[in-house]
Every structure is written in structure tokens, then in C-alpha cells.
Chain A
């Protein structure tokens, strides 16, 4: 079944001008991009490559110099389209004088959610992001990580069809980062579309289906992760431990084509999770108590 395009970008460009209208910085050169429904799309690039500019143009926070952008077939800034979008900015900008419940309640009201739905959702989201112990505390007293979690919660308050996450793991510890990645995968499984913007390559590699790489405002590469990262000039064979006799057979069969035989290396992140996860669960249970 052909997937509908949630985001369509055609020739979109942005040049920042000064007070006198003179062009100063070409932040985004003409960009063509499509993001399909139900996929996790990664937008990569170094600092200043135009990732955040692209997102702001999509959300109508900036006016495009040229080109078009559409979300759910609507112009940027369309209120109906915004109802289906959740956005987490690069840094967490929330009202410090509100607590977690009030923050989610306020943003929920902007989406027109009724009280019952809102209360249920607030409760679930606060628990999901692990802020149940601090729900009544004002945001001014939150740590960066806690604020980031709440930011994520506010991005999901309206159960959006499209979730735009700009550096979602910024400020989070490795456990938190992993939880966010699990959340992203969970969103995909629920049929949501996720646009993930990051310059942490490992995070993107783990969760994204497709990705695009921007550099100096220009699109350098775009495609499926597997396709982009696959090395076609070699093949990896994995054998279980204890089957060394089979290994000799493989070595003999490979002959001169054999490059390397070694134990595979675990990812640091998964190693860390294995070590820390049991203690982390205990700490969580103590906080909840």
C-alpha cells in the first residue's frame, strides 16, 4: 500500500536578511524532501547545517524565502495541521512558574482536549516520562533532564500523528536516552510518524528508517539507513561461541578473501544498560515509594 506523504518539501529555501533587507545568511538552500506516514525519519547534520531552520519552516515559525512546505497537505502554520503535530524544540522552553501537571494541562487546553481526556493523558504521560515524583514541583526547580522529559511529554499531549523531535536526548543520561529511543520505536509501532533531528549519529542509527544529511544548508544524502550504511564490498558471518570447529571450516572456505576473525564487539550503550539497569530500577522504585 502506498504510504501518504506526511511532510512534503519542494524547493524550500531560507535566507536570513538584516534590518535593511539585505541577504546575509543562506541558512537553507533549495531542499526537496518527502517523509512518509509511519516512518521514523532522521535529519542529520553538523551545527548550522539547517536542520532547525527546516523544522521551523515546517511549523510556520519562519517565513520561507522560496519554495513550499506542506504538513498533512496543509500550509505551514495551518491550525488544523498543528493539531496533529507534536514538537519538542532543541532546548526545553517551558514556563518556569508552572508545575508539570499545569504545563501539560495548559498545552492540552490549547489542543481543545476535554477535561477527562486531558487528566487521563496527563497522568499517563507523567508516569511514562518518569516524573511522577515531581509532578507538583515547579519547573524552575527541575534539572535539565527532568525538564527535557517534560518537554517530551508536552510534545505528546495531543497524541500527535506527527512528532518532531529536535535533539530529544540532549541532557539525558544514557538510561534516559535509551528510554527515549524506545519511546520513538513505540510511536512508530503505533503508526505515528517521527521526524528526528540530531547530530548524535548513534541515536539516529539505532531508530531511524530513513535519514537525510544536511551540510551548509544543502542536502547531501537521503535514503534508507541500511542502504546508506551497507558496505557492499564485504560480508560478516557470525558463529556461536563453542563452535570453533565450524570456524576452521569457514576460514578454509574463505581462503585469501578472509579479512578478519574476531569476537564481535558489543555496543557501549547496550553494555551500559546491562550493567546499570538493575540499579536504575531499584532507584525508580525508591522514588515512587
Chain B
């Protein structure tokens, strides 16, 4: 086993050296230049939007370039071994074929990781300068463990759905969320709240709600008011400040910006029990509109999510998982075809993964011929979804990229990568030189 690791590492080092000496880092410089030019030309309506646009553009560009790069690097290195017949000198050595495949894959991954690290560092610097030194605050979210409906008489009933609507001609219906495992040593916390709102009269597109919190069932409820940093909720439609509760607006499922789409309330330390539990209740006080909430998205506790730079790097780890998939599929193609076919296959996989949701829409639309539908359905088995984690949007929305996301991404994309690496290994074993 030691020999296998040694051989793998030797191949990985060779790949890194090869990539470095190919002067591909010049392309990195070009990317940086393009990024800076692009940022200067993109405009948004205000400073906040400009900051978000910078974050999305930088992280999006880095992700796009690094994934594309992986295909080019694999195509250039692996096919060269075959076309320049270096493999005739290489494979008579005691080099297990699995070590060769894994070593090449690992080498490209490390090279891309170095590039992503550098670009993310520079990107953070550019965001810092663009935002006039106001780097966006990153938060992780703590989700509730359970929820219940509270009727106008105060009776609670369990909910087994993920969405519930408060409606009716009487005030007083409420939703209650149970939070657990909250940190008890971080002082006051931030409660984030949003929901969907429906009204017939446009004048009622804002709805008054009461928000209360208590540490346990037996404790008394404390009414909460919006904090000063809340993007909305503190003022009534006529512009006057709300005396108690908050004014809720319609924020749909796709509104996930923590800084912009959620009302903020200060959750005092006293409202959290020593065991880390808290009960949040939102009561509907406006009969002119119906309110709709989701179990895990409408009520959140925002915790500090680390610095922007750290989250950019964690986002980079998610991108590396995607890169691993592309590297594996390009490596497989390189094992039995030339550079042109490898590039084509890699690019097809890349763009297929970027547009997978649209492919799925098309197959379900009924507008395509049957054979094409079947073909596209089969393709979905070998192409993962690159929009599954939406790292750029997450970062722009002020939400931290946590390690669970990184691990989930590696598990998801890693399954595809491993499958293709196994097939590549098998192909190499059977291949004659």
C-alpha cells in the first residue's frame, strides 16, 4: 500500500510540475485581468447591489474558469503520454495502473486547487476594494427542529407538512417554531423571519404580524420588534413606525438573501434556555392577507459564519468537487481517444452539468421526440447538477458556505468522479501500447 501511495504521489507531482512548466499560469493572469475589467464595466443600482454583483461575478468567474481549466489540463497531459509514447517508458516500471490514474487525477486537482486559492485571495481583495472596505458579513443559519400550528384559541396542533398557510377572517392564528441546540454563550442572537403573502387588494401587500419568543413552554412570551438592521418590517405602509410586531412583506421561496429578504429581530440571551431551546411564535394580525411559511426556511437563527475569505475558500472546495468530476470524465476520454475528442467530451459534460435543470425541463415538456427524451434521460445518469449548491448566490446573499455543504458536495460529485475513475482504470488495464 505504501508503494501505491508513493507511486500515486510521484504521478501527482509530475502532473503538477508539468502543468506549472506549461506556463498555464499565464492563463490565470489573463483571467484576473478579465475579471477586473468585467467588474469595472458591470453596474448596479446601488452600493449594496454592486457589492453583491462583485461577489457573484468574481466567484462565478473563478468557478467557471477553474472547471474549464480542468478539462484542458487533463486533455493536454494524459493524451500526451499516449501520443508522445512516453507511456512506453513509464508503464514497464512498477507503476500500478490505478496509481497512474489516481495520480494524474490528484495532480490536476492540486494544480486547480492552487489556482483557486490564489484567485479567491485576489477576488477577496477586489471585493474589499470594490465595496469600499465593507466586506459582506457571512452568516450560517440554524434551523428549527419542529413546528406547530396555533389556532385563534391558543390550541396547538402538530404539523407534518413543510409549508403552512395562515388565512381566515379572524386574527390570531399563529405558527410556532421550536429551536434547539442554540449556543448559550454567544450573547444575543439574530432571528431571521420571512414568508409569502397573498392579498387581493394591492394595498394589503404588507401584513402586520406579532413575533414573540420564550425559552420554554412554561415561560412567558416576550414580544420582539425588528432590529435597526432589519431591511424591512419596522414601518407601516403609510411610512409610520410600527409600535409592536412587524410588517411582513411577500418574500417568495427564491428570495434567499439573508441580508435583504429576511426581517431581523434581536433574540436576547434571556429568551434562550440553558439547554439551548427557544420557542418562536408568529401571529397573524391582519385579516386582509394570508401568510404562508415554510418549516425550515421561514424562521432561522443567524450565527456568525466566519470571514468572507474563509467562505470563499470553502466555496472553492465545492468547486473542486465539481472539478474532480470533470477531471475524471476527461481522464476517461483521454485514456482511449485523442485531445480533440477529450476536449469535446469534457466540454459537453461541463455544459450539460451547468444546464441540467433545463435539460430536465425539456424532457418533461413533451415537445421533444421520444428517442431524444430517452437519450437525455440516460445522460442525466452521468451528468451531475452544477447548480445544486449555488455557491455564488449563497456568498452574495451573505450566507456562509459551511463544511456540511462542502462534504455533501464531495459526496455527490465524488460518486460520479469515482465511477469514472474506475472505468478509466479498467480501460487502461485493457489498453495495449
Contact = CB atoms under 8 A, between A and B. Distances in A.
Interface string B1-43: 0010011001001100110011000000000000000000000
Contacts of B13: 106
A112 B95 CA distance: 10
Contacts of A56: 433
A106 B14 contact: yes
B86 A112 contact: no
A286 B280 CA distance: 88
Interface in A251-289: none
Interface in A8-46: none
A82 B94 CA distance: 5
Contact of B432 (A62, A85, A154): A62
Nearest to B100: A110
Interface size bracket, A side:
20 to 34
Interface string A229-250: 0000000000000000000000
A112 to B, nearest CB: 5
A110 B84 contact: no
A110 B88 contact: no
Given A87-B92, A92-B89, A98-B17, 12 more contacts: A61-B88, A63-B432, A79-B94, A82-B93, A93-B85, A93-B87, A94-B89, A97-B22, A102-B17, A107-B89, A110-B94, A110-B95
Contact of B433 (A61, A92, A112): A61
A186 interface: no
B91 interface: yes
Given A62-B432, A110-B7, A93 B93 contact: no
A83 interface: yes
Interface of B: 3, 6-7, 10, 13-14, 17-18, 21-22, 84-89, 91-96, 430, 432-433
Given A62-B432, A62-B433, A110 B92 contact: no
A110 B10 contact: yes
Contacts of B22: 97
Contacts of B87: 93
Given A56-B433, A63-B432, A89 B89 contact: yes
Nearest to B20: A97
Top-10 shortest CB links A-B? A82-B94, A87-B92, A109-B10, A97-B21, A110-B93, A61-B433, A93-B85, A79-B94, A89-B88, A59-B92
Nearest to A166: B88
A123 interface: no
Interface of A: 56, 59-63, 79-80, 82-83, 85, 87, 89, 91-95, 97-98, 102, 106-107, 109-112, 151, 154
A245 B93 CA distance: 62
Contacts of B96: 79
A85 B6 contact: no
24 contacts: A56-B433, A59-B91, A59-B92, A60-B92, A61-B432, A62-B433, A63-B430, A63-B432, A79-B96, A82-B93, A82-B94, A87-B89, A93-B84, A93-B87, A95-B14, A95-B18, A107-B93, A109-B7, A110-B7, A110-B94, A110-B95, A111-B93, A111-B94, A151-B89
Contacts of A83: 94
Contact of A61 (B10, B18, B92): B92
B10 A82 contact: no
A93 B6 contact: no
A79 B84 CA distance: 24
A222 to B, nearest CB: 24
